[in-house]
Amino acid sequence: MFADRQDAGLRLAERLRGSVGADEEVVVLGLPRGGVPVAFEVAQALDAPLDVIVVRKLGVPFQPELGFGAVGEGGVRVINHDIVLLTELTYAETAEVEEYERAEVLRRARQLRGDRAPVDLTGRTAIVVDDGVATGGTARVACQVARARGASRVVLAVPVGSPETIASLREVADEVVCLRTPERLLAVGVWYINFSQTTDEQVAELLRRAARAAGERDGSATSDPPGREEEVLVDAGQVGLPGQLVVPDGAGGVVVFVHGSGSSRHSPRNRYVAGVLNGAGLGTLLFDLLTLDEGADRGNVFDIGLLAERLVRVTGWLGDQPWAAGLPVGYFGASTGAAAALWAAAEPGCEVAAVVSRGGRPDLAGPRLPEVRAATLLIVGGADGVVLDLNRAAQERLRCESLLQVVPGATHLFEEPGALENVAALARDWFTGHFGPPA
């Protein structure tokens, strides 16, 4: 038996030393919550960075304990079609559950990581760690998520698991390391003397400790900046618009998010991108373009001139904040919000350093495109054919610095594995490259 998760992590690390080559660049990924204390010890022993890998079960609406699949970061989804058929779930029912759980994945990742960006897995060996596996559903999706995020090799490492499950997980991992495979597992907790619940606060603290240790090793250690994170009411003339403001200390600029039709400041995709920008030292403001009453009128939703006017006023409000003095401002627009962002960027006196459009409709700002002065990045999915053609035509009308980036295989919402991460990385690099060094 294992004394506790720390003991299990130390013993697992000893076994893993022989599974990792001297020339391998390793990242350890803990499954929250219980897998993170185990993963922390593994990461410390292997002198490797630590991160979490968040996945969520898709539960049948009228029987939540029965899962019909799972989703994880990077748009990864695993569906058990036999369960879907057995329970006679409709497309609308599965889509509703999936949309909710995708938002939960992004929220949980932000809650645990804080403002830190996910550790880049591209070309690295990802060691996925949990405190044990019974059915293995979560571990299976976690391995698939790690591979979708660019890991060149995936190792699943657990202290204990059932023999059948461990064997099946070799289908999704290049190597599975398990210290004990009892014929009768009963439950993972049976194999620990102390199997007390791990809290979110404990997970977040372990991640902070690991990040500090990594910074000390590579000489980039910094104290976690308290920064500014608050709900705000933005003065947009005759109306007040609710928003969420996050500004790390020493921010190199602030990016204002402009959501598309049918969305809001709670957009899970925009919130994910905002978290990546925060991790890169950029402030973000996500706000509602319309009040609830205004949003009920579909004419307002597609009134690009009105939305652009609101955005200009919000930008003015931002510039009036004492802490924002001298900070460059950028716009991140999605769908119709991208048209509003470009329209606003063309307004005289609206000082915007850079604009990023995600799956945008720049054609809706057609008459104003030649007047845009801000460096503009257009990001479009390779499988989003109509919108891609619209963006190509719009780019020809831009006279400012511009670049069209196509994400291969991605559709309009960038739901494919790794697509949203690609968008976030492109946006981060565009803004940091055009904001210049922090003052």
DSSP output for 167-225? HHHTTT-SEEEEEE--S----GGGGBS--PPPPHHHHHHHHHHHHHHHHHHHT------
Give the dihedral sign, CA 50/285/343/375: negative
Distance, CA of 305 to CA of 344 (rounded, Å): 8
Quick: pLDDT tens for 254-302.
999 999 887 888 787 888 898 889 888 899 999 999 888 887 787 888 8
What is residue 222's predicted lDDT score, i.e. its pLDDT? 47
* Cβ partners under 8 Å of residue 184, min gap 6: none
State yes or no: pLDDT of 55 exceeds 70. Answer: yes
More confident residue, 97 or 404: 404
Q: Is the pLDDT of residue 328 over 60?
A: yes
| Chain mean pLDDT for the chain | 88
Pick from 338, 330, 334: nearest CA to 369: 338
Q: Is 355 helix (H, G, I), strand (E, B) or coil?
A: strand
Which class for 191: exposed (0-12), middle (13-18), buried (19 or more C-beta within 10 A)?
A: buried
Q: What pLDDT was estimated at residue 283? A: 93
What is the identity of the amino acid at 216? E
| pLDDT tens-digit series, residues 73-84 | 767 777 888 888
Q: Phi/psi zone of residue 216: left (φ > 0), alpha (ψ -120 to 50 degrees), beta?
A: alpha
Whole-angstrom Cα distance, residue 371 to residue 342?
9
* CA–CA gap between residue 235 and residue 52 (Å, rounded): 38
- Mean pLDDT calculated for residue range 364-385: 95
- The predicted-structure confidence for 380-432, as pLDDT tens digits, reads as follows 999 999 999 999 999 999 999 999 999 999 999 888 877 888 999 999 999 99
What is the distance between the alpha carbons of residues 23 and 251, in angstroms, rounded to a whole number? 35
* Buried-exposed string 256-272: b where 16+ CB fall within 10 A, e elsewhere: bbbbbbebbbebbbbbb
DSSP string, 145-174: HHHHTT-SEEEEEEEEB-HHHHHHHTTT-S
Confidence grade of residue 437 (pLDDT, cut at 50, 70, 90): low
pTM above 0.85, yes or no: no
Give the Cα separation of 65 and 49 in Å (integer). Answer: 33
Distance from C-alpha of 344 to C-alpha of 42, rounded to nearest angstrom: 50
Residue 161: the pLDDT is 95
Above 60 in pLDDT, residue 346?
yes
- Return the structure tokens found at 427: 């946006």
Q: What is the pLDDT of residues 211-251, one digit of tens each?
A: 887 765 655 544 444 567 888 888 887 788 888 898 988 89
**What are the backbone angles phi and psi of residue 360, rounded to the nearest 5°?**
-85, 170
Decide which of 220 and 148 is more confident.
148
Backbone angles phi, psi at 178, to 5 degrees: -135, 125
**Contact predicate 359/412, CB 8 Å:** yes
C-alpha closest to that of 103 among 93, 92, 111: 111
**Maximum alpha-carbon separation in the chain:** 73
Give dist(CA 377, CA 330) in Å, integer: 11
Check whether 102 has a pLDDT greater than 50.
yes
Q: How far is CA 236 from CA 300, 365, 368, in A?
A: 15, 21, 22
Q: Is the peptide bond before 33 cis (omega within 30 degrees of 0)?
A: yes
pLDDT digits 0-9 by tens, 163-183: 999 999 999 999 999 999 998
* AA identity, residue 412: H
Residues, the chain, total?
Answer: 439
Q: Which of 154-158, 263-267, 332-336 has the lowest mean pLDDT?
A: 263-267
- The pLDDT of residue 344 is 96
Instruction: Please say if the pLDDT value at position 126 is more than 70.
Output: yes
Tell me how far CA of residue 235 lies from CA of 67, 160, 239, 322, 325, in angstroms: 45, 56, 7, 15, 17
